């Protein structure tokens, strides 16, 4: 059945492997000029397409959301022979700083320019109007639209539902947790899907739901210490499985899970493959949001001369989301998760995306 899901998982894993050997690098300082660049291999005939990628907080190396985007870029550099430049956000920066980053890329002739994360929406609204001949894309936002903007959206609630089904089977204490990086509607959709998957599997299970920060403080996406402390509190309160949808903060959740001899669930990329060896064994599965696929699609469309515009939806049906099967420990729980995925694709199960 879940041939599509298995393919999506392999795509994500393969693309993340490319991230380890790709030619792009990233910059992580507060200066908008701090960047990395990527160029095709010597055996490649260079394309005239230059790709600009603006990361969210944590940048390349977060082993989650940003790294998934980086994997798509690396794949495009290798396969499509494009060149690239990468810039990174910093905690608590202003919309003006984000706009400066996007402007720098557009002024330098990078086209498309891809903004990784909904926080770029206000900045993109301003910059896209100033550069009507530049094609832009933004991940996880439909708040800003235009004739030169592609909105890359993901049914992350569906992937979260599946890992909720897995968590409900794996718990021995009938108590699981969800940690969101920042309490915003996007992360609430992750929670809604996860909680629904847990309860659909076993309504008697207690779900602890917590967020690391409240907007406008977005540091919750890159605060491993907060992730560790919050997860430790959940484990102390009886949880034995915790799902972390918190970007780089998930690393702290994994450490807490290891200390508690409990399970953790990763997010966005297959974090069992990318995590430090010391915590790898406790990452039961990950809710996959294949940002790499969307980033590659945007770049490929530009190379072909037909840039993407408008809302692009990535869901279970087209392999845009799923769950990872890299850890053999998840195998006993796959059948019910795959059955749930089939039901979602068929339309017999509708996953909530709001609390």
pLDDT of residue 64: 84
Rounded mean pLDDT of 29-39?
43
- pLDDT(286) > 50: yes
pLDDT of residue 91: 86
Two structure tokens written together for 108 = 């330098």
Q: pLDDT tens digits for 310-332?
A: 999 999 999 999 999 999 999 99
The residue ranking higher by pLDDT, 24 or 94, is: 94
- Burial (CB count within 10 angstroms: exposed 0-12, middle 13-18, buried 19+), residue 331: exposed
pLDDT of residue 6: 38
Q: Are 51 and 82 in contact (CB under 8 A)?
A: yes
pLDDT of residue 62: 85
Q: Are 58 and 70 in contact (CB under 8 A)?
A: no
Rounded CA-CA distance 326/333 in Å is 13
pLDDT of residue 45: 79
Rounded mean pLDDT of 239-243?
98
- Boundaries of every domain in the chain: 3-154+291-314, 156-289+325-346
- Burial (CB count within 10 angstroms: exposed 0-12, middle 13-18, buried 19+), residue 235: buried
pLDDT of residue 42: 62
Task: Encode 210-251 in three state secondary structure.
Answer: EEEECCCCCHHHHCHHHHHHHHHHHHHCCCCEEEEECHHHHH
Predicted TM-score (pTM) of this structure: 0.82
Which DSSP string corresponds to 131-159?
-TTS-EEEET--SS--TTEEEEEE-HHHH
DSSP 8-state code for residue 41 = -
Nearest 10 degrees: CA dihedral of 157, 160, 165, 169? -160
pLDDT of residue 38: 57
Q: pLDDT tens digits for 92-138?
A: 899 999 999 999 999 999 999 999 999 999 999 999 999 999 999 99
Lowest-confidence pick of 31-40, 122-131, 142-151, 214-223: 31-40
Strands 206-213 and 136-139: unpaired
- pLDDT(303) > 90: yes
For the segment(s) 3-154+291-314, the CATH number from 3.40.50.10540, 3.40.50.2300, 1.10.10.10, 3.10.20.90 is 3.40.50.2300
Rounded CA-CA distance 72/229 in Å is 32
pLDDT of residue 116: 97
Rounded CA-CA distance 159/320 in Å is 9
- pLDDT(4) > 60: no
pLDDT of residue 24: 37
Rounded CA-CA distance 171/174 in Å is 6
pLDDT averaged over the chain?
A: 89
Strands 36-38 and 83-88: antiparallel
Rounded mean pLDDT of 195-215?
98
Instruction: Output the CATH code of domain 156-289+325-346.
Output: 3.40.50.2300
Rounded CA-CA distance 14/253 in Å is 25
Domain 3-154+291-314 and domain 156-289+325-346 have a common topology: yes
Two structure tokens written together for 103 = 């402007």
pLDDT of residue 40: 59
Residues contacting residue 342 through CB under 8 Å, at least 6 positions apart: 1, 2
Candidates 31, 12, 1; CA nearest to 273 is 12
Rounded mean pLDDT of 49-65?
92
pLDDT of residue 44: 75
Rounded mean pLDDT of 34-48?
65
């Amino acid at each position: 059945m879940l041939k599509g899901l298995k393919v999506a998982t392999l795509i994500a894993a393969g693309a993340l492997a490319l991230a380890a050997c790709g030619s792009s690098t990233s910059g992580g300082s507060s200066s908008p000029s701090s960047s990395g660049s990527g160029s095709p291999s010597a055996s490649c005939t260079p394309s005239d397409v230059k790709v600009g990628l603006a990361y969210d907080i944590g940048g390349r190396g977060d082993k989650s959301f940003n790294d998934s985007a980086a994997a798509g870029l690396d794949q495009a550099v290798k396969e499509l022979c494009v060149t690239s430049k990468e810039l990174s956000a910093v905690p608590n920066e202003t919309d003006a700083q984000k706009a400066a980053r996007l402007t720098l890329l557009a002024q330098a002739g990078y086209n498309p320019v891809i903004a990784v994360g909904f926080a770029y929406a206000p900045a993109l609204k301003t910059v896209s109007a100033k550069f009507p001949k530049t094609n832009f894309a933004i991940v996880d936002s439909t708040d800003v639209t235009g004739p030169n903007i592609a909105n890359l959206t993901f049914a992350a609630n569906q992937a979260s539902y599946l890992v909720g089904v897995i968590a409900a089977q794996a718990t021995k204490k009938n108590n699981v947790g969800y940690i969101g990086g920042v309490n915003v509607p996007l992360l609430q959709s992750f929670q809604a899907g996860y909680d629904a998957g847990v309860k659909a599997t076993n309504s008697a299970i207690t779900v602890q739901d917590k967020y690391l920060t409240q907007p406008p403080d977005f540091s919750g996406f890159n605060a491993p210490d907060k992730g560790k402390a919050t997860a430790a509190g959940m484990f102390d309160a009886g949880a034995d499985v915790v799902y972390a949808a918190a970007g780089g903060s998930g690393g702290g959740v994994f450490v807490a899970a290891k200390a508690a001899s409990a399970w953790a669930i990763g997010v966005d990329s297959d974090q069992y493959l990318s995590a430090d060896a010391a915590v790898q064994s406790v990452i039961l599965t990950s809710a996959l949001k294949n940002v790499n696929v969307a980033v590659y699609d945007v770049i490929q469309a530009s190379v072909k001369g037909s840039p993407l515009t408008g809302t692009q939806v990535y869901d279970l049906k087209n392999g845009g989301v799923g769950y990872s099967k890299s850890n053999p420990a998840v195998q006993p729980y796959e059948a019910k998760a795959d059955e749930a995925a089939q039901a979602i694709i068929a339309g017999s199960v509708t996953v909530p995306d709001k609390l």
